Amino acid sequence: MKNKRRNRLFQAFGAAGVSILLAIAIWQSGMLTAWENKVWDTQSMMLASPSPRSEDITIVLVDQQSLEWAQKNMGISWPWPRELYGAILDTINRHQARGIGFDVLFTESSSFGVSDDTALGTAIAKSKNFAAGSIFPGNIHGKLSTWPDDIPLPSLATTATLVKKTDNTPSYNFLTMPIPEVAQNAAVLCNVHHDPDQDGIYRSLHPLVFAVGIPLPSLGLGLYLAAHPDTEVSLLNQHLSVGDAVIPMNISGQALVRFRGPPGIYTRISAATLIKDEMLYRDGEHTDPAINRQLRKKYVLFGFSAPGLFDLRPTPVGAIFSGVEINATFLDNLLNNDFISPLSQNLKILVLSFSTILLGLLLAYFSSPIYMTIIALFFLLIPPALSFFLFFIGFRFEILPFECSVGGTIILSFLISYMQEGRKRRFIKHSFAHYLSPYVIEQLIEDPDRLQLGGDRKELTIFFSDLEGFTSISENLEPDQLIELLNDYLSAMTDIILEEEGTIDKYEGDAIIAFWNAPLETPDHAVRAVSAALRCQKRLKELRPLFLKQCGHEMHMRIGINSGSAVVGNLGSTNRFDYSMLGDAVNLAARLEGANKQFDSYTMISESTYKLLNNTFFCRELANLTVVGKKIPIRVYEPFLPSEYQKKKKTLETFSKALQNFYIGNFESAVIQFNTIVDEDPSAIKYLNKCKVLQENPPPQWEGVWALTSK
């Protein structure tokens, strides 16, 4: 048992350990990144279609409709003069937006002249909450390597004790600034440089980068800071605190964006609509009140969505997603404080290791193919289920490393189980081939757990048989003749026992010892044992003429059968053993085989076996006797095949009546009745003689028990 437990532990930890190491190695190599991103995209699509979004965000877009309207009604083609941006900005300010963020690079002076830039600068100056997404940092290209003296430092840079660069925060050596009219008048200057993942999909943004040593927020964060200039910002390790909100970042300093749904879920206003509204306002005409509802107290982002303006990006939830809408989604996450947090690497490895080891243990201890399949499927479903659950509560959980580890453990466990199964099959065939039927062996091979080796107490039906007068027969035969006779006889009897799903315990010369209900459960074990006994007697009768020619004697077989509790298992040394049985029930079956001599019967079963037959066979009560070594009497019976019983029915009925008189001590009546059937029933002769002895020597206290004095 200890070795078995040790082997299972070795199997569990071996399969799990190898799988964990391989999964971590593959994981760390980056081989799973592309596939994991696809899984994340699928998950984002399924869980963001669409999810609740902030009603406080409005996006103003230069869409295709705006370009066509400006061309048709104003004769202005792209690029627009910046005074149009100023008009849009004036409209937004007039409707008292909470904050304004422009996702536009104003790095070059206007082609329409200085006055055009001045008009834009004037409009920005009127806004106290304007965030300009106009700084483009880089490590190779950029116009400046230091912050310009004429541009005020960003507010984040002045809180140096709170916002300091960490190892995972991106840093750039150069930057390209917007024109002074924008840079000097904007409340917040923002970084607009964001790289997609290796497959070109935008899944995350850098909330904060450092360019020439100066911290720059993303446009979404910058717009929030422009609207709430007193907000305290602090950067600690992989977390950026913004007021009460926390932005979790990965080791690259990126924040994973929780997309709310496909493009177009936020309130959208065409830029042309705001230009027309501003023109009406300046002409003293009535403006559209719906615009006020869309802008008042809102966080307003301005950007491009017209296909020709090249600001469309692929995301997990849509292949055509405007850059400004990605920034809007980031701002939405910030307002709701529900960014997706990456789990720590140590925690993921711990969970992976624990779940894999648990799987290995379960597969080792529940080695049935059905159980292993159920456990395997359950553990394969755990990572996606856990990933979906964690997504809802705000965590990203990589599925594939866990599936690799789980899958590896499953494959190795099934492989180990298959190899062990092969050894177990060979062991079963080697151990049982000589004393179990092929059918039973196949059943054991299909379900080895049904085989309880090493000793088990079970309810058995035990079969003992012996040839009558075989000593005399063997003395008159040459050795080769004796072996041939025995082999013919034992083969015929063994075939029947195995056909009835019995187990051959051993052969002792001409004796056969067998039992039922082990190693496989056989609910009708008593019926099968008695059936085997009757079939053996019938087969021996058929073979008797052949055996008579071989040995010169008629061969008769005595059989004793008993049902009861016995210990059964492999008995012997580690190198050589027999699957055998021990117990009083076994000894009684042996005694009943010998008791046949006292009654000239050839098949005797105990009362315990008789009760288990449930009238399957016709039986006559043969005696109430005590065997040698036992004081408690038992009733014994003689079973018959139906055809044989019908032939002897009248004789057996007379025997039964005589036996009842014998039990009550009415020996005179018993003698008369037994005397009428002595020619048909050898057992009646035995009882007739017994009655005469008892008449001559009456016992002092008669209990109807025939006490055997020999085995």
Where residue 58 falls among pLDDT bands split at 50, 70, 90? Answer: very high
In a domain, 303, yes or no: yes
The answer to whether residues 119 and 201 belong to one domain is: yes
pLDDT average, residue stretch 151-161: 68
Please report how the helices 369-392 and 33-47 are oriented relative to each other, as an axis angle in degrees rounded to 10. 70
In a domain, 255, yes or no: yes
What number of residues does the chain have?
711
Residue type, 422: G
The answer to whether residues 579 and 617 belong to one domain is: yes
Q: Tell me the pLDDT tens digit for each residue of 606-620.
A: 999 999 999 999 999
The answer to whether residues 497 and 586 belong to one domain is: yes
Residue type, 523: P
Tokens of 496: 């029947």
In a domain, 459, yes or no: yes
Reduce the DSSP state of residue 394 to 3 states and report it: coil
Strands (E) across 88-207 are located at 99-102, 130-138, 171-172, 174-176, 188-191, 204-205
In a domain, 217, yes or no: yes
447 phi, psi to nearest 5 deg = -140, 80
Q: Tell me the pLDDT tens digit for each residue of 506-562.
A: 999 999 999 999 888 899 999 999 999 999 999 999 999 999 999 989 999 999 999
The answer to whether residues 65 and 153 belong to one domain is: yes
For residue 487, the model assigns a pLDDT of 94
What does the alpha-carbon distance between residue 100 and residue 542 come to, in Å, rounded to a whole number?
109
For residue 517, the model assigns a pLDDT of 94
The answer to whether residues 328 and 354 belong to one domain is: no
Total domains in the chain come to: 3
For residue 423, the model assigns a pLDDT of 64
Where residue 1 falls among pLDDT bands split at 50, 70, 90? Answer: very low
The answer to whether residues 408 and 478 belong to one domain is: no
Domain of residue 348 covers 2-31+343-428
Quick one: which of 303, 123, 168 has its CA closest to 223? 303
What does the alpha-carbon distance between residue 361 and residue 144 come to, in Å, rounded to a whole number?
61
Q: Lowest-pLDDT range, 194-198, 393-397, 482-486, 577-581?
A: 577-581
For residue 515, the model assigns a pLDDT of 96
Please state the three-class secondary structure of 550-599 as a single string: HHCCCCCEEEEEEEEEEEEEEEECCCCEEEEEECHHHHHHHHHHHHHHHH
Average pLDDT, the chain: 88
The answer to whether residues 226 and 365 belong to one domain is: no
The answer to whether residues 498 and 640 belong to one domain is: yes
3-class SS shares of the chain: helix, strand, coil, % to 5? 50, 20, 30
Beta partners for 626? 707
- Report CA dihedral (660, 662, 664, 668) to the nearest 10 degrees: 110
The answer to whether residues 455 and 492 belong to one domain is: yes
Instruction: Supply the DSSP symbol for 73.
Output: I
For residue 367, the model assigns a pLDDT of 72
For residue 373, the model assigns a pLDDT of 86
The answer to whether residues 531 and 659 belong to one domain is: yes
Rg (CA), the chain: 48
Count of Cβ atoms closer than 10 Å to residue 224 Cβ: 26
Domain CATH number, residue 685: 3.30.70.1230
pLDDT average, residue stretch 477-492: 93
Tell me the range of 3-7, 103-107, 534-538 where mean pLDDT is highest: 534-538
For residue 98, the model assigns a pLDDT of 95
Q: Tell me the pLDDT tens digit for each residue of 281-311.
A: 998 888 889 999 999 999 999 999 888 776 7
pLDDT at 162 over 60: no
Where residue 356 falls among pLDDT bands split at 50, 70, 90? Answer: confident
The answer to whether residues 299 and 359 belong to one domain is: no
The answer to whether residues 352 and 313 belong to one domain is: no
Where residue 161 falls among pLDDT bands split at 50, 70, 90? Answer: very low
Q: Tell me the pLDDT tens digit for each residue of 426-467.
A: 665 555 555 555 655 566 556 655 454 557 899 999 999 999
pLDDT average, residue stretch 339-366: 86
Quick one: which of 623, 634, 699, 636 has its CA closest to 662? 623
Last residue of a domain, one of 393, 428, 463: 428
**Between 171 and 561, whose confidence is greater?**
561
Count of Cβ atoms closer than 10 Å to residue 186 Cβ: 30
